[in-house]
Structure 1
Amino acid sequence: MPITTAHLKPETSVEEKESTEASSSFAANIFMGRLVTKQVLPYPQALNEEQQQELKELVSPVSRFFKEINNPAANEAAEAVEEGTMAGLREMGAFGLQVPMQYGGLGLRNTQYARLVEEVGAADLAVGIVLGAHQSIGYKAILLYGTEEQKKQYLPRLASGEQMAAFCLTEPASGSDAASIKTYAKPSPCGQYFTLSGNKLWISNGGTAEVFTVFAKTPVPGDKEKISAFIVERGFGGVTSGPPEKKMGIKASNTAEVSFDNVRVPASNLLGELGSGFKVAMNVLNNGRFGMAAALSGTMKSAIACAVEHANNRVQFGRKINEFGAIQEKLARATTMQYATESMAYLLSANMDAGSTDYQIEAAISKVFASEAAWNVVDESLQILGGMGYMQECGMEKMLRDLRIFRIFEGTNDILRLFIALTGMQRAGTHLQGLQKAIRSPFSQPSLLTSELSRRARRRMGLGTGQSLKGKIHPELDEIGKELVGCITTLGSTIEALLMKHGKRIIDQQFHLKCVAEATMDIYAMIAVISRTSRTLELHLPSAQHEKLLCETFCLEASERVVHNLQAATSSRTGLVFRNMALITAALSQHGGTVHSHPISF
């Protein structure tokens, strides 16, 4: 799976100006073996009392609406969200949750938004996609990059739900490699408009949207062609949509090809600067990923509740099935995964609400972790229900089908794993270069040289790095904290070894990068649950000891996975397996499928 160096560029302009030393990102620092807790400890309280009250007044009617009005089965049968549901969503302001009030929206903070989409995720993921494709990505670029005139022109009708929006990036020959798009926007000689032509594929809301965020290549003065972002209206003419795609899941969400044939787009509809479209696209996707984790947290809660109800009542061999160890393991592990996902989602949203701009690794982690955790949780919940779970009437099989897309869209999990590993390793590589310069000229950066050499010496002698969570987390979690610090230290030394061995060629070592990404995700999940549980224990909440159980169970298993993955990243034995896999795949490709002989010879 190729990945270009474009994927290694930081996604925010602020990020480009920050040095590695100044980064407060927990995930970025662990690639250097550093424990930086500014963003993760204590677990942040994102909302004041007034904001919490506002949220409570919204959550109840949304929850009630999805229980009483929305009909997931009817939506799926119609392959569209019923008009009564759409009308109710408009009335509640659900299409403009984060649009500032001066433009007709509710003006919610990220944490408030997360809590509401959690309710949607628990009820109907297909409706969630309709809402998310509209506001999480559809018009998000207008919120982030739009001029005041663009916001006044478009946001009121989009926030009200009068018009729907869509995000047009993917093309027939351009998926994860967004830089390879072919759609082109040619500026007019007078400079007043662009003529845009091209085809976009698998666009959520593609057949229903009236406003599109479209990415197209444009000539850039003094430079080669670059991607730019535009606001395009269906009413401009030349915009057509194909028939709705027939899909495995999220059938009520309209997905269609959108074609642009010599569409005249006013120059005033350029989003951001000319040639900055790649950054716009990546920031839009990055900004919305926390919402996906929150929604899938809700999905998992819904599935677990259904599985628990069944396990509490189903009797086999004279006993309720919740007494059997196999069922207990499934339910307990499902709950720990939901707890970790929820902890990450609200940790990330709180950081964003606090003004953090350095969260792209954490956002990618939350998307990958949440989408895979939700798939496993719902799959195991269906298994607990047995044959009943496989039947449509229960609703669990629809939930599973709807979930499958989350590992594919808005950045496939395979590409995001590479992004996580390479973005972190790029920073670690920059840090190592700085350290090498300090060694050559020890009086230029004496503090850097002293601290790094001391830390490495302690690590080699088995004394640890001196880093600790003691005093930063609740004492009952100190042992788990030691596990986490040990994982961070091992990650740092593994990254250093890989960079020393492969240098810039590390980009081609995708088997190793996957191992690094897996370890990184588990470490971030560990700090999220430790931080949250520590706060719960400090506050003496009624669920404190139960949450401690969840925290310990998750972290003990996660730390084992970290050790396994980091050993695999540098093991010669695993290296042999990786080489064999490459050879096996080459043979499969050459022969167009399986190569081995049949056991009965024909």
Structure 2
Amino acid sequence: MKSTRQIYSLSRSARSYIFGSQHLAPLLCRSYAAAAPATTPKKKSVDKKPAESDSFAFNLFRGKVALSQVLPYPVKLEGEMQEHVQMIVQPAEKFFSEINDAMANDANEAVSPESIEHLKNLGAFGMLVPEEYEGAGLGNLGYARMSQIIGENDLGLGIFVGAHQSIGYKGILLYGTKEQKEKYLPDVATGRKYAAFCLTEPSSGSDASSIRCRAVPAADGTHWVLNGSKIWISNGGIAEVMTVFAQTPVKDPATGQTKDKITAFVVERGFGGVRNGPPEKKMGIKASNTAEVFFEDCKIPNENVLGEVGQGFKVAMNILNNGRFGMATTLAGTMKHCIGKAVDHATNRTQFGSKIHTYGAIQEKLARMCMLQYVTETMGYLLAANMDRGVLDYQVEAAISKIFASEAAWNVTDDAIQILGGMGYMKECGLERVMRDLRIFRIFEGTNDILRLFVALTGMQFAGGHLRELQKALQNPASNFGLLLGETAKRAGKYVGLASVDGTLSANVHPNLAKPAQLASMSIQAFGYSVEEMLVRHGKNIVDQQFLLWRVADAAIDIYGMVATIARASRSLDANSSSAVMEENIVKLWCNIASERVQRNLNVLKSAKDAENFSIMSQISQEVCELKGIPASRNPLGF
């Protein structure tokens, strides 16, 4: 009621401006047009209720604080599961310290046979597979803990193991029939057979819908015949079981028309017609096998369709979404390793008569490195915990964690090398291998460029559905007075400068974090207003505003990181954890930095100067592409 009382305390002219039809009704009618799809909807879809979700990220785009999946920080293992994970974690740490040689794996471009045998004994190939199928049955939190250990020690090995289970046979776990699970899971979970995820093609990368690999039903109707090729397939040269995506003819029962739609298949190398090229020569993750895979009249039994015919795109996207949380926890481990190297050097290296960790330039780097590691780790475990709790709408959070983790890890590793100086540049130190291995993480499983657009557009689509509901309410204001009053109150504060900060977040965190919580609440509110204004201004053409969508995504990423870390640190403070003071300081630093960056990004959305800069950037890019490079005349000497 606080906001309502503020409204009625305004002057009569202000109330007239806020409530008058000349202001609110046109705004919301334009909002409806903004949220409308590009094509004319059928009549029944106009009356469809907007989607509801408890996802923090989804509701963020409405300027709403939805905390059920964030507060209290839900990360915990209890009872038998905790004991089970600990029983695997301890041998895993011993394996990496005493047996596995990451530098040798990198030099030999393969994980050693000895390491592979130990990984099999650890159950590392079937961490998420239920025990009834010979898996370790760790759950997502257990997998997150194991992936962090792997990321701390050997990213190349991590891709070998991760591509096998995080995406390789994940489709069988998510969509497989009972018969498919019984047939394939025991072999892949134990490492008797390796798995691969075959989606990318020469003509389709992030645009998975454009694949050309094709499967057609055989004349006798007993199987499918697959032809085509896939490139850059992790484990492509060694996999015996593959999840393959291909275009298939699908008849629409309503119209009778046949159109190509993507279908997912479980393909065995033993079916015949499957071969692979030589291992690719890569910049990093050399210990993982990467190869092109060819399918020539490969016969796939009907029972090996994964999911439903024509639903392969959905299968592919859900597999990728489901596997992304492991990337954040893996790279949190990598950052921990790099920070350890940097701290060891900084506390032992003397320059100009003092240890270098006493200098502000080094202290700033170390503090930022710890902050980025903490945010990444917090996101990864939060996502894993929510998945274990059965949360379904986590795709935006998963994309956010992948973007943030891959870029944070790169920056942390770069700073670690800088702190070590010449030593960090040497191969013997090991950080140059880490940096080479890291570069791919911003590219595969959805490039960060595309995922930023996914974050922004998915969230804005959710917000747009609720704007449509509000527009419909305006057509019958008497029956929808409560809805309209709440929305009007929300807008009132914005237009007259009396916006109240939502107290929900502050009321649910430790008192020491009141200021960071206030910064996060203000950022959420400002973000919701900015999204609404963009929808109103650009309508269905919002998809073309990629310069702006990037800024929207970056703001969403920062806000999600703010709220997640506040929740985690609050739990530590409540429990009087030994790390609570450091966590509190990290969160204060992060929220100060992130909230300022959020405001800068939101300001860009309505800045004339930035709009001009984006126009200039577009022009420069077009010119250099037309010229196929930088013109020779631009050289200072003119030739």
Corresponding residue for 1:11? none
Give the TM-score taking structure 2 as reference length: 0.90
User: How far has the Cα of 1:173 moved from its partner?
Assistant: 0.6
- Shift of the alpha carbon at 1:463? 2.4
Name the residue aligned to 1:4.
Answer: none
TM-aligned CA deviation for residue 20 of structure 1: 4.5
Distance of 1:179 and 1:459 partners within structure 2 = 41
Q: Give yes or no for contact 1:114–1:295 (8 Å, CA) kept in 2.
A: yes
Equivalent residue of 2:233, what SS?
Answer: strand
Instruction: Rate the CA distance shift 1:44–1:20 in 2: closer, same or farther, 3 A.
Output: farther
Matching residue of 1:303: 338
> Of the candidates 76, 96, 104, which is equivalent to residue 66 of structure 1?
96
Q: 1:463 to 1:70 in 2, by over 3 A?
A: same
2-structure distance, mates of 1:245, 1:357? 36
Deviations 1:306-341 (A, max 9, x none): 100000000111111101111000000000000000
Contact 1:238 1:263 in 2 (8 A): yes
Matches within 5 A, 1:197-212: 197-212=227-242
- Structure 1 residue aligned with 2:620: 584
Partner of 1:56: 86
User: Does structure 1 residue 523 correspond to structure 2 residue 553?
Assistant: no
State how 1:280-359 maps to structure 2 within 5 Å: 280-359=315-394
Give the aligned residue type for 1:353.
D
Q: Secondary structure at the match of 1:225?
A: strand
Displacement of 1:56 in angstroms is 1.6
The CA distance in 2 between the partners of 1:21 and 1:280, in whole Å, is 21
The count of corresponding residues between Structure 1 and Structure 2 is 588
Aligned to 1:421: 456
Per the alignment, do residues 376 and 504 of structure 1 end up closer, same or farther by CA in structure 2, a change over 3 Å counting? Answer: same
How far 1:57 sits from its partner (Å)? 1.6
Instruction: Give 1:104's match in structure 2, choosing from 134, 139, 149.
Output: 134
Q: Does 1:33 align with 2:63?
A: yes
200, 213, 222: which one pairs with 1:183? 213
Q: 1:467-502 deviations in whole A, cap 9, x for unaligned?
A: 222221111111111111111111111111111111
Does 2:575 match 1:545? Answer: no
Task: Supply the distance in 2 between the matched residues of 1:444 and 1:278 (Cα, whole angstroms).
Answer: 41
One-letter code aligned to 1:61: P
Q: Could you tell me how far 1:447 is from its partner in structure 2?
A: 3.1
**Is the 1:104–1:156 contact (alpha carbons within 8 Å) kept by the matching residues of 2?**
yes
* Residue in structure 2 matching 1:574, options 610, 627, 632: 610
8 Å contact from structure 1 (residues 455, 466) kept in 2: no
The question of 1:489 aligning with 2:519 is answered no
User: How far apart, in 2, do the equivalents of 1:228 and 1:521 lie?
Assistant: 32
- Structure 1 position 46, deviation (Å): 3.5
C-alpha offsets along residues 268-311 of structure 1, whole Å, 9 cap, x if unaligned?
00000000000000000000100000000000000000100000
Aligned to 2:638: 601
What is the letter of the counterpart of residue 601 of structure 1? G
Deviations 1:379-417 (A, max 9, x none): 100110111111110100000000000000000000000
Measured after TM superposition, the shift of residue 19 of structure 1 is: 5.8
1:363 partnered with 2:398:
yes
Match of 1:411 in 2: 446
| Counterpart Cα distance in 2 of 1:521 and 1:45 | 20
Question: Aligned partners of 1:444 and 1:308: how far apart in 2?
Answer: 64
Stretch of structure 1 that moved more, 450-459 or 570-579 = 450-459
Letter in 2 for 1:471: A
| Aligned equivalents of 2:425, 2:337: Cα separation in 1 | 16
Pair 444,359 (structure 1): closer, same or farther in 2 beyond 3 Å: farther
Q: Which deviates further from its counterpart, 240-249 or 562-571?
A: 562-571
Give 3-state SS (helix, strand or coil) of 1:34's partner.
Answer: coil
- From 420, 425, 442, give the equivalent of 1:390: 425
Aligned pairs for 1:34-183 within 5 A: 34-183=64-213
* Distance in 1 between residues matched to 2:531 and 2:482, nearest whole Å: 22
Distance change >3 Å, CA 181–CA 444, structure 1 → 2 = farther
Q: CA deviation at 1:242?
A: 0.2
Asked whether the equivalents of residues 46 and 354 of structure 1 are also in contact (C-alpha less than 8 Å), the reply is no
Alignment CA distance shift 1:542-1:586 (3 Å):
same
Whole-Å Cα distance in 2 between the matches of residues 66 and 19 of structure 1? 52
Q: Which has the larger radius of gyration?
A: 2
Name the CA shift for 1:400/1:20 in 2 (closer, same or farther; >3 Å). farther
Task: Determine what percentage of the aligned residue pairs are the same residue.
Answer: 55
What amino acid is the match of 1:426? Q
What residue identity is the alignment partner of 2:112? Answer: E
Distance in 1 separating the partners of 2:107 and 2:634? 45
Deviation of residue 108 (structure 1)?
A: 1.2
Q: Distance in 2 between matches of 1:546 and 1:157?
A: 45
Q: Give 1:50 shift.
A: 2.5
In the alignment, the residues of structure 2 paired with residue 448 and residue 287 of structure 1 have an alpha-carbon distance, to the nearest angstrom, of 36
Corresponding position of 1:256: 291
- 8 Å contact 2:124–2:161 — kept in the other structure? yes
CA distance in 1, matches of 2:478, 2:119: 63
Q: Tell me by how many angstroms 1:449 deviates.
A: 1.9
Superimposed CA distance per residue, residues 113-169 of structure 1 (whole angstroms, 9 cap, x where no aligned partner): 100110000000000000110000000000000000000000000001000000000
Give the partner amino acid of 1:333. Answer: R
Amino acid in the other structure paired with 2:604: A
Greater alpha carbon shift after TM alignment, 361-370 vs 539-548: 539-548
Alpha-carbon separation, structure 1, partners of 2:180 and 2:404 = 35
Q: Answer whether contact 2:194 2:240 (CA < 8 A) is retained.
A: yes
Matched, 1:193 2:223: yes
- The separation in 2 between residues aligned to 1:64 and 1:53, in whole angstroms, is 17
Query: What do the CA deviations read for 1:165-210 (whole angstroms, capped 9, x no partner)?
Result: 0000000111011000000000113321000000000000000100
The letter for the 2-side match of 1:38 is S
Post-superposition offset of 1:45 = 3.5
1:510 aligns with 2:546: yes
Q: Secondary structure at the match of 1:275?
A: coil
The one-letter code of the counterpart of 1:225 is D
SS across alignment from 1:371: helix
Distance 1:529 1:19 in 2: 33
Q: Do the aligned partners of 2:492 and 2:499 also contact (CA within 8 Å) in 1?
A: no
1:380 to 2:408 alignment: no
3-state SS, counterpart of residue 458 of structure 1: helix
- Partners of 1:134 and 1:164 within 8 A in 2: yes
Q: Aligned partners of 2:99, 2:50: CA distance in 1, in Å?
A: 50
Matched with 2:13 is none
Task: Give a deviation string over 1:402-458, Cα, whole Å, max 9, x none.
Answer: 000000000000000000000001111111111111112224444322211111112
Partner of 1:270: 305
Q: Distance in 1 between matches of 2:341 and 2:242?
A: 38
Q: Distance in 2 between matches of 1:450 and 1:155?
A: 55
Task: State the one-letter code of the partner of 2:424.
Answer: G
**Distance in 1, Cα, partners of 2:556 & 2:303:** 42
User: 1:21 deviation in Å?
Assistant: 5.5
* Contact 1:290-1:348 at 8 Å conserved across structures: yes
Matches of 2:143 and 2:49, distance apart in 1: 31
Cα shift at 1:342: 0.5
- 2:484 and 2:85 map into 1 onto residues whose CA distance is 49
> Which whole-Å CA distance do the structure 1 matches of 2:75 and 2:62 have between them?
28
For 1:433-444, list aligned pairs within 5 A: 433-444=468-479
Please tell me whether the aligned partners of residues 456 and 465 of structure 1 are also in contact (alpha carbons under 8 angstroms): no
- Among 439, 463, 470, which residue is 2:498 paired with? 463
Deviation at 1:462, TM superposition (A): 2.4
SS at match of 1:530: helix
Q: Residue 249 of structure 2 contacts residue 260 of structure 2 at CA under 8 Å; is this kept in 1?
A: yes
Q: Which amino acid letter does the alignment assign opposite residue 460 of structure 2?
A: M
Deviations along 1:346-395, one digit per CA (max 9) or x if unpaired, are 11111111110011000000000000000000110011011111111010
Paired position in structure 1 for 2:593: 557
1:466 deviation in Å?
5.2
TM-score (norm 1): 0.96
- Name the structure 1 match of 2:278: 243
| 1:438 and 1:445 in contact (8 A); partners too | yes
Alpha-carbon distance in structure 1 between the residues aligned to 2:50 and 2:59:
8
